[in-house]
Amino acid sequence: MCKSKKAYSSEPNYSANLLVQRNRDFQAFIIWGLFLLLLLIDQGIKFWTKQTLLLGDEIKIFDWFSIYFVENAGMAYGLEIGSKLFLSIFRIIVMSALCLGIFFLSRSKKFSVGFLLTLVMIAAGGIGNIIDCAFYGLIFSDSSSQIASLFPIDGGYAPFLEGKVVDMFYFPLIDCTLPNWLPIWGGENFTFFDPVFNFADSCISVGVALLFLFYKKSFNTALNYIFSSKKDNKI
């Protein structure tokens, strides 16, 4: 009787543990499923751009929106900081740390799915641009004189980690000539928003905006949780 009573009392614990495991698996599916989806969308758009347009080609969709093919060697929105190789290695380190952080935080069950998905958007965007830098120079020919070919016989246009990021979204929401009476810039053409960007840049920007608007406290808690866990492990 005692044994059967003990077995009966353990059933709720087993069911609860199974439910927790299923919830954890579903959360992981949502988190890494979104990561993969964003990455596939980003790379699909870039592949289409590389194999459809010449560098500098523009497809006007609306007055305020164009598909405008440019390439840059720098960070999001065409910013350039330091050498190309250093920048690529730095981004790989940062994004690897972020992905490990997401995995660690999701396993802890202490953070909301919304917060983790926000981090996933940033990670997917960063890795999407890293793929360009790491592999596009190897697998694509140059796009300046002809539409790029995939896996060209003569090899790609750049070594590993020195490829260029593909940008294509151009939103000149305001395009006008400034009035002549304006000091310094009077009579000059003014465009807003001028930078050309890609889907990965959008993921990073939206993720960072959501982080600051809604998850600033969660982000600080996550940092404290990660570093406190490292201290506990050392002890």
Domain boundary assignment for the chain: 22-55+81-164+203-234
Q: Please identify which of the residues 175, 194, 201, 232 carries the catalytic annotation.
A: 201
Please say if the pLDDT value at position 35 is more than 80: yes
Q: What is the pLDDT of residues 174-226, one digit of tens each?
A: 888 888 887 877 778 878 788 999 999 999 999 999 999 999 999 999 999 88
- Whole-angstrom distance, CA of residue 157 vs CA of residue 135: 10
Tell me, yes or no, if 57 is annotated catalytic: no
Q: What is the CA radius of gyration of the chain?
A: 24
Q: Given this model, what pLDDT does residue 215 score?
A: 95
Q: Are 140 and 148 in contact (CB under 8 A)?
A: yes
Q: Cβ atoms within 10 A of the Cβ of 216, count?
A: 10
Spatial CB neighbours of 43, under 8 Å, sequence gap ≥ 6: 128, 131
Burial class (CB in 10 A: 0-12, 13-18, 19+), 172: middle
Q: Please identify which of the residues 167, 175, 194, 232 carries the catalytic annotation.
A: 167
Please say if the pLDDT value at position 11 is more than 70: no
Q: What is the pLDDT of residues 44-84, one digit of tens each?
A: 999 999 999 999 999 999 989 999 999 987 655 555 666 77
Q: Are 83 and 162 in contact (CB under 8 A)?
A: no
Tell me, yes or no, if 201 is annotated catalytic: yes
DSSP3 helix / strand / coil % (the chain, rounded to 5): 60, 15, 30
First to last CA, the chain: 45
What's the residue count for the chain?
Answer: 235
Chain centroid to CA 155? 27
Of the candidates 41, 46, 57, 66, the one whose C-alpha atom is nearest the C-alpha of residue 167 is: 46
Q: What is the pLDDT of residues 121-177, one digit of tens each?
A: 999 999 999 999 999 999 999 999 899 999 999 999 999 999 999 999 999 888 888
Q: Are 102 and 120 in contact (CB under 8 A)?
A: yes
For the ranges 29-33, 44-48, 101-105, 219-223, the one whose mean pLDDT is highest: 44-48
Arithmetic mean of pLDDT, 82-111:
88
Q: Given this model, what pLDDT does residue 75 score?
A: 58
Please say if the pLDDT value at position 86 is more than 60: yes
Q: Given this model, what pLDDT does residue 204 score?
A: 96
